[in-house]
């Protein structure tokens, strides 16, 4: 199944299972391939820092060979020139979603987007959906204030980062599900909201601080949900994935 970046933002055209991204949070390519092949019904996979550093771009090629969509979650955060080069390279991999840190600032985000657009045109490849991480879902209001010394509540900080991201021209943000309703009031419907920190009522929250259930997040206006351990750490990952899909479909009908 291949869906273009533009089509991926037409949320009504996607089934619930196409809106759930499962992380490959494993240390090796071998473990990742076992997980992918054990869940053939999952169409969208996230490759994060651990696996990308361990397995390299070959992991992306394996996913594409299986006709899977790829969320390359590297959370790039550097000077504008470095971010531009990294985004151009990521575009050549043909990934569907790529993450940056919004806190890199407007110049860094703009340089990254411009480089991806140029590389996409030069290589005749689809432009990835580039989204900016607003605030990590592991960071609580207390940590934001006392550790990072940001004099804003999380929802105000996230809104500020999201509006800056939109002003630059990126296609969306990564945010906690608790901020989705607020962002939907201020941002256009085609601006993607990608939500980690989503946990069913029957799963542990682990290290996530600002959570909702998958059904609640979709009802609030989330575009994509990133759901890992409730699926991958389950005794029956396929059954857990299907249970989440069923709960979401029921809530949306």
Catalytically active residues are 75
Q: What is the 3-state secondary structure (H, E, C) of 142-172?
A: HHHHHCCCCCCCHHHHHHHHHHHHHHHCCCE
Q: Which stretches of the chain are DSSP H helices?
A: 5-8, 29-38, 49-55, 58-65, 80-92, 105-123, 141-146, 154-168, 180-186, 214-220, 229-232, 237-252
Q: Which of 197, 102, 202, 196 is nearest to 150 (CA)?
A: 102
> How far apart are alpha carbons 161 and 141 in whole angstroms?
16
Check: CB of residue 175 under 8 Å from CB of residue 189.
no
């Amino acid at each position: 199944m291949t869906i273009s970046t533009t089509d991926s933002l037409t949320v009504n055209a996607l089934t619930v299972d196409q809106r759930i991204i499962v992380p490959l949070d494993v240390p090796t390519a071998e473990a990742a391939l076992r997980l992918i092949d054990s869940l053939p019904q999952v169409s969208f996979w996230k490759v994060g820092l651990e696996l990308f550093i361990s397995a390299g771009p070959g992991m992306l090629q394996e996913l594409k060979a299986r006709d899977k969509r790829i969320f390359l979650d590297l959370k790039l955060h550097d000077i504008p020139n470095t971010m531009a080069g990294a985004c151009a390279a990521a575009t050549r991999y043909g990934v569907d979603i790529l993450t940056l840190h919004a806190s890199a600032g407007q110049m860094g985000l703009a340089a990254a987007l411009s480089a991806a657009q140029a590389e996409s045109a030069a290589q005749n490849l689809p432009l990835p959906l580039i989204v900016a991480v607003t605030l990590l879902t592991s960071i609580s209001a207390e940590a934001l204030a006392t550790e990072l010394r940001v004099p804003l509540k999380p929802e105000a900080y996230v809104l500020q980062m999201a509006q800056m991201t939109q002003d630059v021209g990126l296609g969306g943000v990564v945010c906690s599900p608790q901020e989705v309703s607020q962002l939907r009031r201020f941002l256009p419907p085609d601006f993607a909201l990608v939500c980690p920190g989503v946990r069913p009522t029957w799963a542990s929250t682990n290290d996530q601080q600002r959570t909702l259930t998958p059904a609640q997040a979709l009802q609030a206006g989330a575009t994509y949900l990133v759901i890992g351990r409730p699926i991958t750490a389950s005794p029956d990952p396929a059954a857990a994935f299907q249970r989440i899909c069923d709960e979401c479909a029921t809530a949306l009908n």
